[in-house]
Amino acid sequence: MWWGGRGRSFNIPPQKEPEMGHLRPKSMQVSRMEEPRSPQTSSCPALRCLPGEKILAWAPGVRRGLEPELPGTLMCTNLRVLFCPQGWQVRQDSVLNSDYDFSLSNIGRLEAVNGPGRPQILRPGSLLKFIPDEILIHGRDFRLLRVGFGDGGLEPLAFRVAMAIVQARKQNSQAQHYEGMILSKAYCGLGSNEPPVPLLETPEDWEAERRRHGARGWRVSTVNERFDVSTSLPQYFWVPRRTLDSEVRKAFSHFHQGRGPRLSWHHPGGSDLLRSGGFYEASDPNREDIRAVELLLQAGHSDIVLVDTVDELPTLADIQLAHLRLRALCLPDAAVAEEKWLSALEGTRWLDHVRSCLRKASDISVLVTSRVRSVVLQEQGDRDLNSLLSSLVQLLSDPGARTLHGFQTIVQREWVASGHPFLTRLGGSGGSEEAPVFLLFLDCLWQLLHQFPSEFEFSEFFLLALHDSVRVPDTPTFLRDTPWERRKQNGQFSSYTQVYTPGSPQAPPVGDLVPRPLTVWDWGLRYSHQQILQFYNPCYEPHHCSDICSPREQPTSVTPGPPRSIFLFSRGTLTPLNQLCPWRDGFSSLMSSSRWLPRHNASSDSLADQEWGLPPHWGASPLPPGLLLPGFLGPQIRLWRRCYLRGRPEVQRGLSAPTISGLLDELALLQGLLRTWASRPSSRDHMKTKDPDTPLSPSR
Amino acid sequence: MLGKGVGGGGGSKAPKPSFVSYVRPEEIHTNEKEVAEKEVTLHLLPGEQLLCEASTVLKCIQDDSGQHGICGKLVCTDFKIAFLGEESTLDDNEPQFKNKLIGENDITLHCVDQIYGVFDEKKKPLFGQLKKYPEKLIIHCKDLRVFHFCLRYTKEEEVKRIVSGIIHHTQAPKLLKRLFLFSYATAKQNSTATGPTHQTVMFDTIKDWHWELERTKGNIKYKAVSANEGYKVCEKLPAYFVVPVSLPEEDISCFQGRGIPIWCWSCHNGCALLKMSAFPKEQDESNLQIQKAFLDGIYKTIHNPPYETLKTEDLSNSFISLQEIQTSYSKFKQLFLIDNSSEFWDTDVKWFSLLESSNWLDIIRRCLKKAIEVIECLEVQNTNVLLIEENASDLCCIISSLVQVMMDPYCRTRFGFQSLIQKEWIMGGHCFLDRCNHLRQNDKEEVPVFLLFLDCVWQLVQQYPPAFEFTETYLTVLSDSLYIPIFSTFFFNSPYQKDANVHQRQLSLPLNPNKSSPKRGFFETDHLIKNLLGKRISKLINSSDELHDNFREFYDSWHSKIVDYHGLLLPHIEGPEIKVWAQRCLRWIPEAQILGGSPVAIMNKVLEMMEEVQSLQKKIDEKHNSLMAPPLDGLSLLRKPARLSSLFPFALLQRHSSKPVLPTNSWKTLGDEEDLAKQEDEFVDLGDV
């Protein structure tokens, strides 16, 4: 439970600026500005900068909106805007402060207020017309920072910092310069006890993952090692053991963007979850190619279900629109009357989208767990909703995925390595294809967390941290579109990565010739030890993990005959298909059979009932161990208030009931007392009543 | 509350053999034991009588187009409608939480909300004399359950008897003396009539009022009076109540208790919450003058600035009307009374706007807001607050109880809360009989005022669970007990009515000609009632704009501080914070079940930890006393090996389905038969999944 070793502080020593990015500012300020530099910045507080970061302006101010008001300094650097409360440096052991940091791309709206008049909205490039009393920064992640400036002759500083932010945003939107900070190895993941999250950039990682899943019928293919099959695919992926790389290469060329069917997850019961891009219907494969494609899709199973991923799910444009509306609704000054709030919320359609994702994911997890088969998620691009669905399915059906490590691995595999275009979707590239699919996924996950509070090792706080991390410019995890770009960057950076800090006393100095680039999973970078402790859910009941469902039937290793049954899953029903690929008979069969059936009338019977033909008296736990079936009725889909309503101070308080944490504290106290007693002789036997397996028995 | 009357299970009447048997009597003899296990017998309470019955009735499960059902017997007694089927004996995991009086398939007659019949696939409400009998009976209950009984296979005369019996006993107007309560009480008489000493203060003696005055330190300015002993003055007021010390006793009897400020509760700073029943609209000018003079006198005794200031809240005119509550709730409950599941899915997309258009949550918000406004006057402005309503027994009860729940931590304990209900609602003369329409005499009077109060309290409970001794389950059970005619608590219009009926068992209602009609319609005259006092004083009191600002400031400043669970508690009333009481509303909907999920999981964890804490605490105590007594096993709290579902403790642990493995509609057209056969084989193989 306890993962020590993260509490120590670390230094980032002054370093030379490598001559590399043409956009890098030449005059690099060194971090830890302890001594005064110029008369102007004489009282500028110390700030531990990221490499490549420089302070553009600062002004003393007061954080407002919440009691108590907090004095400190508002600073603007070329990467972020941050508010440093007084005395912050002393306590903090992380470079980035999660509470008051706004990376420039995260600033959704900047307002300057002077007196009672209307606030001026500052867009990149606009000019400030007055000396501001107060600056309001609305984050795109729903946070709000209000900084007020006092009198005392420092008004020019306030003006300067406001203008600096405006300038920096302009610069930032003109030039996308997310280099990704590559710091020393000193920043590890959560702690020494947690294995590092596999980045899935080496074949070893993939092989280890494959073994962990027990996917014996699969192997790691290196066919895309040089990104010549597809730049958006990872370098390595899993294909059926029997297929040759040449077959894979040929088969993949008949898929949209070269994204052919690959294993996403192997269910311990024997089923396989695959993901694939759409068939590239203009291509004209020969007989062998079709056979290869079929083998890949079939994956040794006789029962295949093709899932039309986008069916019944929102389009990217829908997601973006809903998110924009949600953001507008959750602004503190949203002009929605209290009694109209619910219909306004419904009008955003965000919760509706969450519902449809959950519903589909729960249907698919039933397909995967109810019998041994190959379930193929097929989306044209294979980079957005496929990621969302396959991650959700795994979270629903695999208890191991609900641990912190398991979840991070899933995000790394299904989103990062699989080439979800984070930069484009989060609006970083300024294009029109913005759609926060990942944030939608986090919301779905929050619903699960809310409905099954004891099934997840991580807490809501962790989800919030992840939610807030997607735009933080310190790691390349989220700020790239493809694995290829990520890889390219790393390669380019590899000669500069040896920023080893001798000041860090416990950092292992040997054996790390290739330092890991920082990833978002290095939480120690942004969150303090205390905060990281809160990533863990005190209610977690890990006992479900032990029930491993025994494999029902492994796919036979010999090439099976033609598949016995092929279905298309759409609109909640399974429709039989005559063949897998659209090409053979002038690719008619898929087209003709994929008629859009209306959702089954009594579709309220969840697919679970249909698939299992559940006995009329459903006992208390008839589901396969570990499978979660979420509720998705209207009243059960909730608003993630702690995330979306953060900007509204009136609803920030009292959101958490301290019951569990209070009890935990009391428990720790009592155990401490008991231990002092137990250390006296003849009291050993009283310790044993405690169940050593309960996650709550803190061994601190 | 449900614990009482448990012992009465056995029943005074031996149940008749109650199933149609397909075996010969000899066989029954030999298989008696087996049969006894399988057969569900009708348990009658003391004094309960079987009225009519019908056999081979199908109870349909979740409307799988009426195909799937459990065969059994439908009976109607003078207490409940019960379905006796075989289902509950089948699985060995008995529901862990069972109502001791009302089984899974029992509907008390008072709980029936609406009865529908299905004629040729068309659903029609049933009432009165029927010409044609339906093939299916749908019963909507007030606790939001929905039952479907298929009568297609039942004998015709049995159908006639049971349908007309049910309709008659649930819908026809009834006399008070015909309430099951009385037959039960008569039959129960010789058993333990006096329960254990109550920790709930009943407020039926003057001592209780003295105790309450002392507890709230209101005894300096207020006194308990016994002017109404024997209900000499007024039948609306309780025998004992509390008035300002300065009020002359003879004033009380002037207008049968109207126009008298009656004490509800005193705040820690000495300010008090008072209530007053207003005068009915008076046509006669001279009477009007008299009333005016009287009110002026009363007003002088309680409003003498700067020592004592008073603020009035006229709830009849400037607040929610009962009509509004009624309309809103009838819309709201329709969201959860679902005849078949597809109906539910259809509305799902529109869920929030449907919910909003019912307006129920907004009414809750307005009640909470009003209570906060009153608290602001008491707490910040240091003024007394006088609530005025025509009978001071509906909205007055809600607001005054809410104020006390928010301000007085005692009211957040279980016994404190029960005492509060006893004081404000029972003694306060809330017309439970009319508002719940127990006698079916006037549908217009049926307004779920008490339920609205419970829902407001639920909002507080779910926002600040640690501040309350009780949980939402307690509130849900409390809301159910409104319809169980075993307890006298919620079945009378006033303490007078209760005393008159319970103590002298010969039920004769002495009609007092002078008494103003208790049935004065709120709905006809509501807009006409102009309250003299309210009008007068409102001139002196600050305007409403100012009030709003004060409210906002008070509300914001309280919420910016850290919550003290033992002090003042203000709810959040913003749009996202007022929620649906999901436990009560969704508990009978199988689709809403989340296995292993939701608050139950947390509750389990909390209980587990409490158990651990307590056992550790005990060990430390033992060490401390250096007593090596054998350690007692820790409390055996709720321990469940199985995963509980989110509907716990009202869980429908069964789910039923008669659906085929795969939806077959498309299948038949597209697949060939051989495949179909294979498919079914496979299903059988995997049947044990």
A197 vs B398: CA distance, rounded Å: 56
For residue A666, give the nearest of B598, B613, B646 by CB distance. B613
Name chain B contacts of A628, Cβ cutoff 8 Å: 595-597
Name the burial class of residue B369, with classes exposed (0-12), middle (13-18) and buried (19+) by CB atoms within 10 angstroms of its CB. middle
Mark whether B256 and B108 lie in a shared domain: no
Does any domain span residue A182? no
pLDDT digits (tens, 9 = 90+) for A488-500: 766 544 433 334 3
Name chain A contacts of B93, Cβ cutoff 8 Å: 619-620
Does any domain span residue B428? yes
Query: In B, residues 54-113, which contact A (CB 8 Å cutoff)?
Result: 64-65, 68, 87, 90-91, 93
Mark whether B271 and B166 lie in a shared domain: no
Predicted structure pTM score: 0.78
Mark whether A164 and A282 lie in a shared domain: no
List phi, psi (to 5°) of A239: -130, 165
Query: In B, residues 364-393, which contact A (CB 8 Å cutoff)?
Result: 365
Does any domain span residue A399? yes
Let me know: does B606 contact A660? Beta carbons within 8 Å: yes
pLDDT digits (tens, 9 = 90+) for A640-657: 888 888 777 655 544 443
CB within 8 Å: A662 and B671: no
pLDDT over 90 at A188, yes or no: no
Does any domain span residue A156? yes
> How much is the average pLDDT of A360-385?
88
pLDDT at A609: 55
Let me know: does A435 contact A466? Beta carbons within 8 Å: no
Does any domain span residue A404? yes
A16's CB contacts (< 8 A; 6+ apart) are none
Mark whether B456 and B500 lie in a shared domain: yes
Mark whether B327 and B414 lie in a shared domain: yes
List phi, psi (to 5°) of B311: -130, 140
Does any domain span residue B650? no
Mark whether A211 and A130 lie in a shared domain: no
Mark whether A157 and A208 lie in a shared domain: no
Best A604, A614, A670, A673 member to test B by mutation, with max B CBs in 10 Å, is A604
Does any domain span residue B465? yes
Pairing verdict, β A374-378 and A303-308 = parallel
B409's CB contacts (< 8 A; 6+ apart) are B416, B467, B565, B566, B567
Confidence bin at A219 (pLDDT 50/70/90): very high
Mark whether B159 and B237 lie in a shared domain: no
Mark whether A248 and A355 lie in a shared domain: yes
A407 vs A458: CA distance, rounded Å: 9
Highest mean pLDDT among A273-282, A412-421, A501-510: A412-421
Does any domain span residue A589? no
Mark whether A249 and A316 lie in a shared domain: yes
pLDDT over 60 at A372, yes or no: yes
Name chain B contacts of A660, Cβ cutoff 8 Å: 602, 605-606, 609
Best A605, A642, A690 member to test B by mutation, with max B CBs in 10 Å, is A605
Mark whether A97 and A163 lie in a shared domain: yes
Mark whether A276 and A156 lie in a shared domain: no
Mark whether A234 and A336 lie in a shared domain: yes
pLDDT digits (tens, 9 = 90+) for A606-648: 555 555 544 433 433 356 777 888 888 878 888 888 888 877 7
Mark whether B139 and B258 lie in a shared domain: no
Residues of chain B with pLDDT under 70: 1-40, 62-68, 86-99, 189-198, 340-347, 503-548, 596-598, 626-689
CATH for B76: 2.30.29.30
Q: Which chain A residue shows the shortest CA-CA distance from B569?
A: A654
pLDDT at B341: 62
Question: CB distance from B154 to chain A under 8 Å?
Answer: no
Amino acid at position B55, single letter: S
Name chain A contacts of B87, Cβ cutoff 8 Å: 617
pLDDT at A670: 78
* Residues of chain A above pLDDT 70, percent: 66
What is the count of structural domains for chain A? 2
Of A479, A503, A535, which one is at a domain's C-terminal end? A535
* Residue A478 Cα, gap to closest chain B Cα (Å): 31
Does any domain span residue A177? no
pLDDT at A426: 84
What is the count of structural domains for chain B? 2
B278 vs B394: CA distance, rounded Å: 13
ipTM, two decimals, is 0.73
CB within 8 Å: A670 and B465: no
Mark whether B286 and B400 lie in a shared domain: yes
pLDDT over 60 at A585, yes or no: no
pLDDT at A388: 95
**What end-to-end distance do the CA atoms of chain B give, in Å?**
43
pLDDT at A617: 39
pLDDT over 80 at A536, yes or no: yes
Helix (H) or strand (E) holding B652: none
A236 vs B437: CA distance, rounded Å: 71
Domain hosting B76: range is 50-88+99-172
pLDDT over 70 at A401, yes or no: yes
pLDDT over 70 at A37, yes or no: no
Of B530, B558, B586, which one is at a domain's C-terminal end? B586
Mark whether B147 and B234 lie in a shared domain: no
pLDDT at B35: 38
Of B172, B198, B222, which one is at a domain's C-terminal end? B172
pLDDT over 70 at A68, yes or no: no
Name chain B contacts of A355, Cβ cutoff 8 Å: 348
Does any domain span residue A695? no
CB within 8 Å: A628 and B596: yes
Place of tokens 């208030």: A641
Domain hosting A73: range is 55-171
Highest mean pLDDT among A142-146, A557-561, B162-166: B162-166
Highest mean pLDDT among A73-87, A539-553, B368-382: B368-382
CB within 8 Å: A618 and B576: no
Does any domain span residue B451? yes
Confidence bin at A275 (pLDDT 50/70/90): very high
Does any domain span residue A610? no
CATH for A121: 2.30.29.30
For residue A576, give the nearest of B585, B595, B671 by CB distance. B671
pLDDT at B369: 93
Mark whether B151 and B220 lie in a shared domain: no
pLDDT digits (tens, 9 = 90+) for A104-139: 878 888 888 877 777 788 877 778 778 888 888 888
Question: CB distance from B621 to chain A under 8 Å?
Answer: no
Mark whether A256 and A309 lie in a shared domain: yes
Best A537, A617, A655, A675 member to test B by mutation, with max B CBs in 10 Å, is A617
A257 vs B398: CA distance, rounded Å: 65
Mark whether A244 and A378 lie in a shared domain: yes
Helices (H), B189-233: 206-215
Question: CB distance from B469 to chain A under 8 Å?
Answer: no
Helix (H) or strand (E) holding B314: strand B310-314
Mark whether A304 and A392 lie in a shared domain: yes
pLDDT at B275: 92
Mark whether A225 and A85 lie in a shared domain: no
Place of tokens 């099951």: B180
Mark whether B157 and B263 lie in a shared domain: no
